[in-house]
Amino acid sequence: MSDSAHRDSPEQAEFRQYCQDWLANNTPGEPPVRLPQSALEIMTEAQLAYLQDWQKAAYDAGLVGCDYPVEVGGGGRKDCQRIANQEMIRARTPFFPNVIGLGMAAPTVFYHGQDALKQQLLPRLFSGEDIWCQGFSEPGAGSDLASVQTFAERKGDKWVINGHKVWTSLAHFAEWMILLLRTDKSHKYDGLSYFVVPIRSALGKGVTVRPLIKITGETGFNEVIFDNLEVDDSFRLDELGKGWQVAMTTLLHERGAGELQTPRSGGMTSRSTHETKAAAVMDLARNTPRGEGCAAADPLLRDRLMQAVIREKAFEQSQRRSRVQPLLDHPMRLPLQNKLLASEIAQEVSELALDVAGPAGSLYLADANAPAGGQWPLAYMNTFGMTIAAGTSEVQRNILGERVLGMPKSK
């Protein structure tokens, strides 16, 4: 019996077996094209099509949205998404392309949308047929998110939207956007409202999507400009002026601290993409010459390698401890660390890989001699997306210090 299977409920045990059986026959083969390291860097239609096919197959098999009610296209199960995720990661499946939809839009629509809207939007979100993106940050609103200026003006049953969103991952493929905007200029927080907006159908008719190029040379995120886009009031989530509270639901789930478990597929551990865990850096160290021996014999690198191994293990064990009530303090103490730790550990590990690789760490994707195909420098650079997006590490430390430890607010 596997570690994770040890304490399954009968329903979970049966579902786990089902997932294993299905995955044994349906895990996709090698992709026809090089895949990026995560869904946030999908650049081509061919990459998207391969990944969309996989998400649709997994949804049809019941591995996506397991814990959502049947009425909104979910599986109607209890605490089973975790099981499906574990089995998909174990089976080394590719990642899901609709990450913004699954991780952020779905819980937000589910908790704050009207029934008709949930039934309309969630099934095609879970299946990956509709890709979603997130319109939060603006040129003038980064860490201070509540200062967004994109404005919606009421016009009967409609709203007319004008403004400028940035860092909008997947907008170039997205049908829908979750959108935080201002409906009242006289109140900072209480002047915010939250909408879901169809953007693909409005391209060239009030919506412009332009790619931004990342530090890695990849695209994948965009700027989105609204120029008198009209949307129906039925696309509003929750009450007028409650946008900030709705955004908190989004951010809580984005940071891995929400009530609903996000459907998560193989991701970085899939066969076709590159393994970026400390174990892979140990392999790199064994295979990298250093002096008479290899980098894995260097005492200083050995110490750093073990630091990385230990932090990864600690993070894994904190996920486990977060479900053991008598070993917890403040209920949000571990969940609110998830995003900060996942991103900082990934950064530490990939930075270490470059130090281990030495001069060969300078070789990038197009160089035939690059260790691991040049994926390490790519991984290291991409981790800054993780430590900056969804609330920077500095904002995360404010949240932890204030909400968990109760220290005075830094604003």
Partner 1 sequence: MSQPNDFGFGEEAALLKDSARKFFADNLPVDALHRLVADNPDPDRAPAVIWREDLWQQMVELGWSMLAVPEAAGGLGMPLVAVAGLVEELGRAAFPCPLLGTLNATYVLAACGDSGLAALEEICGGRSAALALTGASGSWQAADTPLTVSGGRLSGTASYVQDAGKADRLLALAHCDSGFALYWVDAKADGVAIDSDAIVDLTRDQARVTFSDVEALRVSDNGLVAVNQAMPAIWTLLAADMAGAAEWQLQTTVEYVSTRKQFERPLGFFQAVKHPLVDVMIRIDETRSLLYNAACAWDHEPEKAAQYAHMAKASASDLAGYASSRSVQYHGGIGFTWECFVHLYFKRQKHSQVLFGDGAWHRAQLADILLPAAA
Determine, following the binding rule CB under 8 A, whether residue 86 of this chain makes contact with partner 1.
Answer: no
What radius of gyration do the chain's Cα atoms show? 22
Determine, following the binding rule CB under 8 A, whether residue 340 of this chain makes contact with partner 1.
Answer: yes
Determine, following the binding rule CB under 8 A, whether residue 277 of this chain makes contact with partner 1.
Answer: no
What burial class does residue 201 get, using C-beta atoms within 10 Å of its C-beta: 0-12 exposed, 13-18 middle, 19+ buried? Answer: exposed
Determine, following the binding rule CB under 8 A, whether residue 11 of this chain makes contact with partner 1.
Answer: no
Query: Shortest CA distance to 40 belongs to which of 123, 131, 125?
Result: 131
Determine, following the binding rule CB under 8 A, whether residue 358 of this chain makes contact with partner 1.
Answer: no
Determine, following the binding rule CB under 8 A, whether residue 302 of this chain makes contact with partner 1.
Answer: yes
**C-alpha separations of 374 from 365, 366, 384 in Å:** 4, 8, 17
The site string for partner 1 over 304-333 (x = CB under 8 A, - otherwise) reads -xxx-xxx-xxx-xx-xx-xx-xx-----x
Determine, following the binding rule CB under 8 A, whether residue 286 of this chain makes contact with partner 1.
Answer: yes
Pick 49 or 327: Cβ nearer partner 1: 327
Name the helix (H) or strand (E) containing 210: strand 207-212
Residue 227: strand, helix, or coil: strand
Identify the residue whose tokens are 């109760």.
406
Identify the residue whose tokens are 């895990």.
27
Determine, following the binding rule CB under 8 A, whether residue 299 of this chain makes contact with partner 1.
Answer: yes
**Applying CB under 8 A, which of residues 303, 359, 368, 369 lies at the interface with partner 1?**
303
Determine, following the binding rule CB under 8 A, whether residue 291 of this chain makes contact with partner 1.
Answer: no
**Token digits for 367?**
């160089």
Structural contact between residues 402 and 304, judged by C-beta atoms closer than 8 angstroms: no
Determine, following the binding rule CB under 8 A, whether residue 203 of this chain makes contact with partner 1.
Answer: no
- Measured at the CA of 263, the angle between CA 378 and CA 143, to 5 degrees, comes to 55
Total residues contacting partner 1 (rule CB under 8 A)?
A: 51
| Distance, CA of 401 to CA of 411 (rounded, Å) | 13
Determine, following the binding rule CB under 8 A, whether residue 401 of this chain makes contact with partner 1.
Answer: yes
**Applying CB under 8 A, which of residues 24, 116, 368, 405 lies at the interface with partner 1?**
405
Pick 115 or 329: Cβ nearer partner 1: 329
> For binding to partner 1 (CB under 8 A), which residues are involved?
1-4, 6-7, 282, 285-286, 293-294, 296-297, 299, 302-303, 305-307, 309-311, 313-315, 317-318, 320-321, 323-324, 326-327, 333-334, 337, 340-341, 394, 397-398, 400-402, 404-410
